[in-house]
Structure 1
Amino acid sequence: MMSYQVEIPKEQKVTRARVALESARELRRSKRLMGVDAIYQFVKDVDGEWLENWTDISDAEIKAERVKISSIKIELLVFEFMLYVAMLYAFYVLLLNQMDSVNFAKAKNRDSITLLC
């Protein structure tokens, strides 16, 4: 399938560029004359909630992302718990091994003492 590109005539490009340049000059001129208040001429609802709604992401997408993040947090929590349990088990085995070696040494000393007697 071939893509079809619309060729914009040169005159239309020049016209669009001229309009954009005039708009930029008008903004600069009004900013010089009116200061910060010049923004009220060019932006609708300046004092509204535009800052809170500036993204293109819908609330449903944001909620889905939060659910995804919370599920990742739960997975990490489970992983950390399993790691904690594994470390406790390893510590327990190490402790038992240490106790066995101490008991073995005591028994060996006891046997050597009984052999001397």
Structure 2
Amino acid sequence: MPPEDVNVLKNELSNVLKWLERIELALTKQREETREEIKQIYERLDNQRDAVNRQECERYRERCCSKQDFRNEQQDDKIMTMMLCLAKWSGIGVGIGLVLKYWLR
């Protein structure tokens, strides 16, 4: 092979190597960007999941609290009725004392 052909082949190989290096750099950069995008997607999903969990917990807490408030009101009504009956049967002073003692807790 003549030296000129060898030089031409060396130049072409050098150009191919430069292009391959550029392609490798571009692919590496793209891979890093893709990793960052995936990381951001996971962070958004985590945040959304946390928000949904907080909303579900809040709804559950509201339901439980409203049930408990209803039970407390019913219990308070029963206690007040019993105290008023006691007041009627045993005199106003005892009834008022019981109301003040238990109602103001």
So what's the TM-score if we normalise by structure 1? 0.51
Q: Between Structure 1 and Structure 2, whose CA radius of gyration is higher?
A: 2
The one-letter code of the counterpart of 1:95 is R
Runs of 4+ in 1 over 4 A off after TM superposition: none
Unaligned runs of 5+ in 2: 1-8, 72-105
Distance of 2:63 and 2:20 partners within structure 1 = 64
Unaligned runs of 5+ in 1: 1-54
SS in 2 for 1:58: helix
Number of residues of Structure 1 aligned to a counterpart in Structure 2: 63
SS in 1 for 2:18: helix
Following superposition, the deviation at residue 95 of structure 1 comes to 0.3
Q: More helix by proportion, 1 or 2?
A: 2
So what's the TM-score if we normalise by structure 2? 0.57
Following superposition, the deviation at residue 58 of structure 1 comes to 1.6
For the aligned residues, what is the CA RMSD?
1.7
Identity %: 3
Corresponding residue for 1:106?
60
Higher relative contact order (CA 8 A, sep 6+): 2
Distance of 1:58 and 1:94 partners within structure 2 = 53
Decide which of 54, 59, 74 is 2:13's aligned counterpart. Answer: 59
Decide which of 26, 41, 51 is 1:72's aligned counterpart. Answer: 26
Distance of 2:39 and 2:15 partners within structure 1 = 36
Following superposition, the deviation at residue 112 of structure 1 comes to 0.4
